[in-house]
Chains A and B, each alone.
Chain A
Amino acid sequence: MTLAREAEALGARLPPLLLAAERVAATVAQGVHGRRRPGQGDSFWQYRPFVAGDAPARIDWRRSARGDRLYVRQTEWEAAETLCLWSDRSPRMAWRSSPRLAEKGERASLLMLAVGALALRAGERLRLAGLGGQSFFGRGALERVLQAQDQADDGLPSPTSVPADARVLLVSDFLSPESELRSLMAGLAARPAGGCILQVLDPAEVELPYSGRVRFRGLAGEAARLVPRVEALRERYRDALAERQALLARLAGQAGFGFATHVSSSPPEQAVLAVHLALSARRR
């Protein structure tokens, strides 16, 4: 695919996803009271009179021209907390069990962006785990996050790409091999970083609704698995899933993370609210 067409496809995808993210964020923001602050969303913090020692380049000439004194534009934003986001883009996420549902990856992106939008409203900066140190803030930050997200690699992010002391939101189905999960969480705990991990699952992955003789194929190149009678396996599959979730919750707790799950058949707002509260609780 040429770059132009890629960009076009991306552009076509952007507005609905962003709109959805904004909509989800707005719903949640109303649900969390008292978070609004005057003057938010602007990089401006305050002016203070020029004092000797300030770099002349920091003088705000437009403000200073109104009076006789020189003013310096103070940018308190440097101290703003950074929310480090990551959603899983692996082939495993590009799947849904029914055309009525959203793909897991799509839902994961939506949730991530919605949380990001909330954070932006709260005046915080966004950063993408797995990418370089680029951070996004201000107007249009979400769009740039979305574009940058496509450059991220498949697979779990490296803990070193997460800034120290950052708030981290990881959205994935977390069905990767257990060892990888363990090393990721250990790495994050060592940064140190806090935050939340959100597991997004398709209802079929929760229920295993199939029956009869089925040959299962993975999406990430796993070996196929022939199951003669799926219905006989259903109970034990659920147990295995519950076990995986318990493991995730334990790992998250050990690393100081919150853990939430989301099934793509349920509305996204709930999950965003849960994540948002988890992240806020950590921050306080």
Chain B
Amino acid sequence: MSFAALSFTAPWVLLALLTLPALWWLLRASPPAVREQLFPAISLLDGLKLEEQTPARTPPWLLALRLAAAAAVIIGLAGPTRPAARPGLVGPGPLLLVIDNGWAAAADWPARLQAAGALLDDAAQQGRQVRLLATAPDGDGSPPRLGATETVAALRPVLAGLRPASWPVDRDAAARALDGVAAGPVAYLDDGVGTPGRDAFARRLAAIGPVEDLRATDAGALLLGVAAAGDRLVASLRGLPSPVARQFAVLGRADDDTVLARLPISLAAGAASGEAAFSLPAELRNRLGRLTLASTASGDAVAIASAGAVALLDEGDRRHPVGLVSAAGEADAAPLTGSLFYLQRALAPLAELREGSLASLLARPLSMLVLTGPVPREGADALLAWVRRGGLLLRFAYPGLSDAAADAGALDAGASELGVRDSDEALLPVRLLAGDRQLGGTMSWSAPQRLAAFPAHAPFAGLAVPADVTISRQVLAEPSAALDARSWARLADGTPLVTAAALGAGHVVLVHVTAGADWSNLPLSGLFPRLLERLLRLSAGVGASASAGGARALTPVLAPVLLLDGSGVLGPPGPAAIVVPSGLLADTAISPQHPPGLYAPPGSNGAAQRQALNLGQATPLAAAPPVPGATLRGLQVGAARPFGPWLIGAALALLSLDMLASLALRGVLVGARAALGIVLLLCLITAARAQTSPALATHLAYVATGDEAVDRVEEQGLDGLSQVVNARTSAQLAEPVAVLPGRDELAFYPMLYWAVTASTEPDPAMIVALNDYMAHGGLLVIDTRGGDEATGGSDAGFGDVGGDALRRLAGALHVPPLTPLSIDHVLARSFYLLREYPGRVVGDPVWVARDAAAGRDDDSVSPLVVGANDWAGAWAVDASGQPPFEVVPGGSEQRERALRFGVNLVMYALTGNYKRDQVHADEILKRLQQ
């Protein structure tokens, strides 16, 4: 690098260098500063002659030092930059700058703009003019056009305004635009994706002049697709094969951008696709609005701004509309005891419920239809057609069902067509025996029957069978060879309770009792909503397209509602976007006319009718070879490096040296004192960095699990809790501290929060420290973070299970006898009066030590609180003060209750059983009145 290669951002500042000689003269002429000194014996000095006239001049080396500092400041302010080393453009003629601005270029668009800027810099240095060609069609649908030959200065704003499109590039049209272009060097910012016409376009480029093919080293062309598979949502990622494995994260976001779920997804080395399956509770899944892709290369998830990295979800992916056919007049007559009441209560949290007549329900997409009475005669054909297309019909018994069905054909193998022929009761999975079976009661010897365990082939497999569910009356299935396979639930004596049969793409399911509480107490039990949830999962994926019933009038077209732009943000449709023929949406090729986004029938409102068109579903993705004969380069241009700040820093260092030297010259500074000063300064710096003792303030502490994500949740959670406690109570908490029991001293912390994960292993030193902590007045809060199916929280079955790890730990920890936390316990009253103790999830019981000596007000403060509600997740606030995690089932009230429980925990840890009197306040008041 030669000095001539230096460039200055403000070259006129260099004129100030001319003042350096004047500065030199000034500095040289001025003597060093005088030091004043009081001195009584001045009369003795007066008589003394000065034989040598001391040169009152600055020493030359000091002069040089100061001049160097001044020169460094001046040059530094002039903004010197060292240009990046890269090969220049060769050949005569204007530069042809070709930029791919289709969807595939969006992910690394800033890098592309930078590379283009660097090319323009080169052209400017060589005095070349530039022509620009962007290969994607415009937003108004017009094909790519070649720009006029312009100077670099005129072109920079055009380049800055260039945005990536959400549709692919059109290389055929781009090649046509290049007809008749003058020869000259070509720089091609290539997205590396093969499209039709790519080869012809590459040859056309090569014919114009020497081509530089600039590509991203890690191909940024990524396509995220989504498909519903049973009860899971499968995200698929496609990309150009890369020699190194790449890690990404798929974020499931709600419509309001909240992240509801996050899964890692990877592209193995050389692989072109990867998959990740979301297994979400129905409530969460219904709230998902889209999946976005984020890069995790830097540790944190950084969203990839590209239309290809967004997969929109529509009704087919997430909605499970359930229709309840209400018998005419029944709902009005008995709103609380009618057959629909328990169904409504059980299904409302899980699905979108619709009620009405069969015809009106089938007019709209449905995934499950619940029928508690006879099949209406007029709708039977439509119902059967709907089931065949994939609907799930759930029927319940009613008085008279068996009689009506006795002589009608059931949906037996080979008899299905026959069954539909004339009877409304044909839509049954099994033949029924005439008459009901009465179990128990005054006229019967038999006792009400309990449930048997669910068979393995049934969707209910694995659900716990409560002992208190009894069946006292049911309809009976006719024994047959297929009955066993069709029975999804049985009574203890083996008679089927739930039977099901496949019909076409759908299912017909019959529950052999009524949906009310008159035949059994099944609808009253907690099992009932679980059964319905399993059935809903079975019906998942039977979305709008599959279940669009024949009764529904097919809308001819779908109009664009919200479209993705090139960087993956939803916005209003552009001028070129036009309607798509209904039914063809899935196969529509992405173009300026049909950009990715949400489409809906014209005139419809609400999200229910919207259908998603994603780049990931129909766009082909293949790597393209480089332009023949071209020099292949990466996008990294080696940015010009300004080193002005370094010069100014050096000047400052020189000036401080100068100050030290001047002080030394004036005799103020002697060596020892200077050394002392430096040592003092170092001490101050060290002291400022030194950690303050944890005993100086009250800290909440959490056990460092070693899992970075879990630790961050714990830290954020305790941080949020500390803020709330500081704001609402007189307790003052400092920031939370991560501790490792066995290594760190625990005595300083009143409360220790431990998130037990599945991988937590008891470490002897840790157990000893924790036992000691509990034995000496500490409060250990153990949280297994939800997800444990057995405990029955709202998060059951979702996420990792800490329960097993807790059981392992419990063997080592000195766990006192535990009892569920009741509202009489001090912990429920230590600040707020609480009846429930939710965290991020609800429903899991909270365990505290049982009062060893009940009735005695001794110091029976529980050293241990065990729960699985993931309190830290609910307490957590991120750096911007927002909660990073959603609470389940949701609502600000749940988060508030979680925080209140946290405040109680802190108060309990700080005050022990001080508030126990409050527990007995009623009793005390009563005694006072006597």
A interface residues with partner B (beta carbon < 8 Å)? 92-93, 95, 104, 173, 175-177, 201-202, 204-205, 210-220, 222, 225-229, 232-233, 236-237, 240-241, 244
Query: 11 A-B contacts, Cβ less than 8 Å apart?
Result: A95-B38, A177-B43, A211-B667, A212-B35, A215-B35, A217-B42, A222-B42, A227-B45, A232-B52, A233-B50, A237-B45
Q: Is B48 an interface residue (CB 8 A)?
A: yes
Given A214-B34, A228-B56, A229-B54: A241 in contact with B39 (beta carbons within 8 A): no
B44 touches A219 (CB 8 A): no
A216 touches B42 (CB 8 A): yes
**Which residues of chain B have C-beta atoms less than 8 A from A211's C-beta?**
667
A241 touches B666 (CB 8 A): no
Q: Is B83 an interface residue (CB 8 A)?
A: no
Q: Is B31 an interface residue (CB 8 A)?
A: yes
Within 8 A of A (CB), among B798-838: none
A175 touches B52 (CB 8 A): no
The complex places the Cα of A93 from the Cα of B667 at a distance, in Å, of 26
The complex places the Cα of A93 from the Cα of B40 at a distance, in Å, of 8
Given A212-B32, A232-B50, 15 extra CB contacts under 8 A: A93-B40, A173-B41, A201-B41, A210-B667, A213-B31, A216-B39, A217-B37, A217-B39, A218-B39, A218-B42, A227-B50, A229-B52, A236-B48, A240-B44, A240-B45
The complex places the Cα of A175 from the Cα of B39 at a distance, in Å, of 12
The complex places the Cα of A202 from the Cα of B40 at a distance, in Å, of 9
**Which residues of chain B have C-beta atoms less than 8 A from A240's C-beta?**
44-45, 47-48
Find A225's partner among B32, B42, B667 (CB 8 Å cutoff).
B42
Find B37's partner among A93, A210, A220 (CB 8 Å cutoff).
A210
B48 touches A237 (CB 8 A): yes
**Which residues of chain B have C-beta atoms less than 8 A from A225's C-beta?**
42, 45-46
Q: Is B36 an interface residue (CB 8 A)?
A: yes
Within 8 A of A (CB), among B652-671: 665-667
Main secondary structure of the interface of B (DSSP, over half): loop
Q: Report the minimum CB–CB distance from A211 to chain B (whole Å).
A: 5
Closest residue on chain B to residue A226 by CB atoms? B34
The complex places the Cα of A226 from the Cα of B32 at a distance, in Å, of 13
Given A210-B667, A214-B37, A215-B35: A233 in contact with B43 (beta carbons within 8 A): no
Closest residue on chain B to residue A205 by CB atoms? B41
Q: Is B53 an interface residue (CB 8 A)?
A: yes
Main secondary structure of the interface of A (DSSP, over half): mixed
Within 8 A of A (CB), among B49-71: 50, 52-54, 56
Q: Report the minimum CB–CB distance from A49 to chain B (whole Å).
A: 60
A228 touches B54 (CB 8 A): yes
B48 touches A214 (CB 8 A): no
Closest residue on chain B to residue A229 by CB atoms? B54
Find B53's partner among A204, A226, A228 (CB 8 Å cutoff).
A228
**Which residues of chain A have C-beta atoms less than 8 A from B56's C-beta?**
213, 228
The complex places the Cα of A22 from the Cα of B53 at a distance, in Å, of 52
Closest residue on chain A to residue B51 by CB atoms? A232
**Which residues of chain A have C-beta atoms less than 8 A from B53's C-beta?**
228
**Nearest 9 pairs between A and B by C-beta?**
A228-B54, A212-B667, A218-B42, A229-B54, A92-B40, A205-B41, A216-B39, A240-B44, A211-B667
The complex places the Cα of A177 from the Cα of B44 at a distance, in Å, of 10
The complex places the Cα of A227 from the Cα of B44 at a distance, in Å, of 13
The complex places the Cα of A173 from the Cα of B40 at a distance, in Å, of 9
Given A212-B666, A227-B45: A232 in contact with B54 (beta carbons within 8 A): yes
The complex places the Cα of A275 from the Cα of B572 at a distance, in Å, of 108
Given A233-B48, A236-B48: A212 in contact with B665 (beta carbons within 8 A): yes
**How many positions in chain B have a CB within 8 Å of any CB in the partner chain?**
26
**Which residues of chain A have C-beta atoms less than 8 A from B48's C-beta?**
233, 236-237, 240
**Which residues of chain B have C-beta atoms less than 8 A from A95's C-beta?**
38, 40
**Which residues of chain B have C-beta atoms less than 8 A from A202's C-beta?**
40
B45 touches A216 (CB 8 A): yes
Find A217's partner among B31, B36, B50, B667 (CB 8 Å cutoff).
B36
Q: Report the minimum CB–CB distance from A239 to chain B (whole Å).
A: 9
A219 touches B34 (CB 8 A): no
Closest residue on chain A to residue B33 by CB atoms? A213
The complex places the Cα of A177 from the Cα of B43 at a distance, in Å, of 8
Q: Report the minimum CB–CB distance from B217 to chain A (whole Å).
A: 63
The complex places the Cα of A138 from the Cα of B124 at a distance, in Å, of 105
A244 touches B37 (CB 8 A): no
Q: Report the minimum CB–CB distance from B587 to chain A (whole Å).
A: 92
A215 touches B37 (CB 8 A): yes
**Which residues of chain A have C-beta atoms less than 8 A from B667's C-beta?**
210-212, 214
**Which residues of chain A have C-beta atoms less than 8 A from B43's C-beta?**
175-177, 218, 222
Q: Report the minimum CB–CB distance from A265 to chain B (whole Å).
A: 15
Interface flags, B774-790, vs A, CB<8A=1, else 0: 00000000000000000
Given A232-B52, A237-B48, A240-B47: A219 in contact with B35 (beta carbons within 8 A): no
The complex places the Cα of A126 from the Cα of B44 at a distance, in Å, of 33
Closest residue on chain B to residue A222 by CB atoms? B42
The complex places the Cα of A227 from the Cα of B43 at a distance, in Å, of 13
Closest residue on chain B to residue A92 by CB atoms? B40
**Which residues of chain A have C-beta atoms less than 8 A from B41's C-beta?**
173, 175, 201, 205, 241
Q: Report the minimum CB–CB distance from B36 to chain A (whole Å).
A: 5
The complex places the Cα of A275 from the Cα of B53 at a distance, in Å, of 44
A215 touches B52 (CB 8 A): no
Closest residue on chain A to residue B670 by CB atoms? A211
The complex places the Cα of A219 from the Cα of B41 at a distance, in Å, of 9
Closest residue on chain B to residue A216 by CB atoms? B39
The complex places the Cα of A202 from the Cα of B39 at a distance, in Å, of 10
Closest residue on chain A to residue B48 by CB atoms? A236
Closest residue on chain A to residue B666 by CB atoms? A212
The complex places the Cα of A212 from the Cα of B34 at a distance, in Å, of 8
**Which residues of chain B have C-beta atoms less than 8 A from A218's C-beta?**
38-40, 42-43
Q: Which one of A104, A228, A233, A237 has the greatest number of beta carbons of chain B within 10 Å? A: A228
**Which residues of chain A have C-beta atoms less than 8 A from B35's C-beta?**
212-215
The complex places the Cα of A176 from the Cα of B44 at a distance, in Å, of 10
B37 touches A237 (CB 8 A): no
The complex places the Cα of A216 from the Cα of B42 at a distance, in Å, of 7
Q: Report the minimum CB–CB distance from B271 to chain A (whole Å).
A: 77
**Which residues of chain B have C-beta atoms less than 8 A from A241's C-beta?**
41, 44
A175 touches B44 (CB 8 A): yes
Q: Which one of B33, B37, B46, B52 has the greatest number of beta carbons of chain A within 10 Å? A: B37
The complex places the Cα of A228 from the Cα of B51 at a distance, in Å, of 11
Closest residue on chain B to residue A211 by CB atoms? B667
The complex places the Cα of A226 from the Cα of B56 at a distance, in Å, of 12
B37 touches A216 (CB 8 A): yes
Q: Report the minimum CB–CB distance from A225 to chain B (whole Å).
A: 6
**Which residues of chain B have C-beta atoms less than 8 A from A204's C-beta?**
39
The complex places the Cα of A240 from the Cα of B35 at a distance, in Å, of 23
The complex places the Cα of A205 from the Cα of B50 at a distance, in Å, of 19
**Which residues of chain A have C-beta atoms less than 8 A from B38's C-beta?**
95, 216-219
**Which residues of chain B have C-beta atoms less than 8 A from A176's C-beta?**
43
Q: Report the minimum CB–CB distance from A175 to chain B (whole Å).
A: 6
**Which residues of chain A have C-beta atoms less than 8 A from B52's C-beta?**
229, 232
B34 touches A215 (CB 8 A): yes
Closest residue on chain A to residue B42 by CB atoms? A218
**Which residues of chain A have C-beta atoms less than 8 A from B42's C-beta?**
216-218, 222, 225
The complex places the Cα of A107 from the Cα of B485 at a distance, in Å, of 118
Q: Report the minimum CB–CB distance from B30 to chain A (whole Å).
A: 12
The complex places the Cα of A268 from the Cα of B375 at a distance, in Å, of 125
Closest residue on chain A to residue B56 by CB atoms? A228
The complex places the Cα of A233 from the Cα of B50 at a distance, in Å, of 8
**Which residues of chain A have C-beta atoms less than 8 A from B666's C-beta?**
212-213
The complex places the Cα of A204 from the Cα of B40 at a distance, in Å, of 10
The complex places the Cα of A220 from the Cα of B41 at a distance, in Å, of 10
Q: Which one of B33, B39, B45, B667 has the greatest number of beta carbons of chain A within 10 Å? A: B39
A215 touches B36 (CB 8 A): yes
The complex places the Cα of A233 from the Cα of B41 at a distance, in Å, of 13
Q: Report the minimum CB–CB distance from A210 to chain B (whole Å).
A: 6
Q: Report the minimum CB–CB distance from A75 to chain B (whole Å).
A: 45
Find B50's partner among A93, A228, A244 (CB 8 Å cutoff).
A228
The complex places the Cα of A201 from the Cα of B42 at a distance, in Å, of 13
Q: Report the minimum CB–CB distance from A109 to chain B (whole Å).
A: 16
